[in-house]
Amino acid sequence: MAFPDKGYPSIADYCDDYLARLAQAGASIDRAALARAAEMLGAAFGRGAWLFVCGNGGSAAIANHLLCDVAKGVQTDTGLLPRVMSLSSNLEMVTAIANDIAFEDCFLYQLGTAARAGDLLMTISSSGDSENIVRALQWAAANGLESIALTGFDGGRSAPLATVNLHVDGDNYGVIEDIHQSVMHMLAQYLRQAKMPDALISERKF
């Protein structure tokens, strides 16, 4: 059943049901897939590969936030130097590609310019069906890049294209995006603490 499926008399009631949906959505994440994604990210950063990340709308904001939390956060106290590029952040490039070529190619065009075999792609799409996301995943598969796809709803076309699909079982964009944001934070913080001395972890703010 879709959420919401009725009107609410108060925001407190809406809050209660929204938070319940968040808990259900968070519980739906495949922990084995999450572990594989963390392994892929750690390996990529360890070998000096680039992580390219992209999304549209709210998912673009998560992609840009990931750039900050991973590129800056993960290297703090760890010795890792993550190389991260958000394909959603360069407005000039995105609009030039959209205007002169096609919006559907705004991510794969950038990948074709900067990515190399052995790099890693992460896509963020609630529907999993955005054409520019699908094309980026197809390009990655054809050019030697592994990929991690964050999806919701029914996973769309992205789910089977990715090396690892981190799927959120949800039918509300806000809930799905909140969990995608949480997954991003979990991956960044997990990778950071995994490379820190145990005695230092409790002294730092995450």
pLDDT tens for each residue of 127-167: 999 999 999 999 999 999 999 999 999 999 999 999 999 99
Q: What are phi and psi of 146, to 5 degrees?
A: -75, 165
Query: Quick one: pLDDT band at residue 3, thresholds 50, 70, 90?
Result: very high
Angle, CA of 48, 132 and 129, to the nearest 5°: 110
Comparing C-alpha atoms, which of 90, 131, 130, 138 is closest to residue 110? 90
What proportion of the chain, given as a percentage, has pLDDT over 70? 100
Residue 12 has pLDDT above 90, yes or no: yes
Residue whose C-alpha is closest to residue 120's, from 87, 97, 91, 160: 87
Question: What confidence score (pLDDT) does residue 121 get?
Answer: 98
**At 205, is the pLDDT very low, low, confident or very high (cuts 50, 70, 90)?**
confident
CB 69 within 8 Å of CB 185: yes
Q: Which numeric CATH code is attached to 11-197? A: 3.40.50.10490
Cα–Cα distance between 105 and 87 in angstroms, integer?
11
- pLDDT above 80 (res 1): no
Average pLDDT over residues 26-45: 98
Task: Break the chain into its structural domains and give their ranges.
Answer: 11-197
| 16-34 pLDDT tens trace | 999 999 999 999 999 999 9
The pLDDT > 90 percentage for the chain reads: 95
Apex 192 CA angle, 159 and 197, nearest 5: 145
Give the pLDDT confidence of 63-113 residue by residue, as tens digits: 999 999 999 999 999 989 999 999 999 999 999 999 999 999 999 999 999
The CB density around residue 81, as the number of other CB atoms within 10 Å, is 11
From the number of C-beta atoms within 10 Å of its C-beta (0-12, 13-18, 19+), residue 166 rates as buried
Give the CA-trace dihedral at 32, 36, 42, 48, to 10 degrees.
-170
Tokens matching residue 4: 């919401």
